[in-house]
Amino acid sequence: MNKSVCVIGLGYVGLPLALLSVEKGYTVYGLEVHEKKIDFIKQNYPQILLNHPFALKANIVIIAVPTPVDERKMPDLTDVKNACSMIAENLDHAGRLIILESTVNPFVSRKIMLPIFEEKGFKEGRDFYLAHCPERIDPGNKRWDVSNIPRVVGGISDEALKRAINYYKDILSGEVMSMSSIEAAEMTKIYENSLRAVNIAFANEMAIVMQNMKLDVKEVLKGVKTKPFGLDLCNPSCGVGGHCIPVDPFYLIEESMKRGFDPRFLATAMKVNGYMPSYTVSLLMHAMNDVGKSIRGSTVGMLGVSYKKNVEDLRESPALDIIKKVNSLGAIIKIYDPYIPDYSNSTAEEVLNCDAVMLLTDHDEFLDYDYSKVSVLIDGKNALEPHKIGGVYKGIGR
């Protein structure tokens, strides 16, 4: 039997999965609408049959499209719905397996996706099979990649679960765990990212508390880590980035509110994390006051704009919010990020010669710079040692 897969959405989730499937002997089709991605894939990965007319006739169709939140922090499932409609228009009765990898609320697969197919007269468990395997990927992580990260899978029907499990076990070396329901699989991803968001919020809030007490959070955390059990620590920073942590908890908040419970603890955690860019800008304002300068008309250099060290990824990066806020205060902004040259407007040397420097991403390259002549340094990642800074140093909780 010909093994074929179609991946809808060839971004940071879909592309690695498509390439892994090729490696494991599958004929792989890809559907993508963004011109830059299309050109990139055509030039670098010709083994993926891109936007092929028979793509949706593959044995397995995987949906890996964005699921952001809108301005009101409500889940936007437009791309998921559009993908389902496109699949349904091309569906036959061949028993195609459809897998959603995009992160969604519990009940999205059953109550939003499934009806799109049923309205076309197709029955799950007979004409097609619907499963969910929430994506797990950590850009830049050399230990855990798409091939070995453990995964969880849920299905609408037992046969959907069985077929999805077989596919993932065929391509992955990591554990593949079956869940009792598709909702349990959906909740797994939301839960793990909400927990991470809460832990980060606690670290951020404690950093602000310690800053007011004139204590060094980095020293305190070093002491806390001497306890050999019962701890899962996060480090404070200028904000939370990436597609998952700043977004996924809002899915859970929205679904919980619909069911009559206000998850105030989680909502507060998201507010704390959302406040950190503003707090970081306030550190800059205080530091500039310390040296007798106004932000307006001063040059402020930004080191890093990606949300995570050593990766080319701007998604939900707090640096973007910080840059916007500092710019609104009348500063002359100079930006350098070796991983995102298109966003940079200056060299590293020009940034270091600014009236103030803000370290917003802790790329390895930045840790080796000479900061001895910097007048004001705002360390948004607590990556540097204060005694190596020539002028005023302010970190998050330091």
Residues with catalytic function: 244
Please compute, for residue 68, the number of CA atoms within 13 A of its CA located in the half-sphere on the CB side.
Answer: 8
Helix (H) or strand (E) holding 282: helix 264-290
Q: Which residues are CB-neighbours of 179 under 8 A, at least 6 positions away?
A: 152, 153, 154, 185, 188
Tokens of 343: 């966003």
- A 10 A CB-CB count for 189 gives 22
Q: What gap in Å lies between CA 249 and CA 231, rounded to an integer?
A: 22
Residue position matching structure tokens 């909502």: 267
Residue in 182, 173, 170, 122 with CA at minimum distance from that of residue 4: 170
Phi, psi of 342 (to 5 degrees): -65, -25
Q: Crossing angle of helices 264-290/248-258, nearest 10°? A: 140
What is the rounded CA–CA span in Å between residue 9 and residue 294?
A: 46
Q: What is the DSSP letter of 307?
A: S
Q: Are 380 and 356 in contact (CB under 8 A)?
A: no
DSSP letter at 57? G
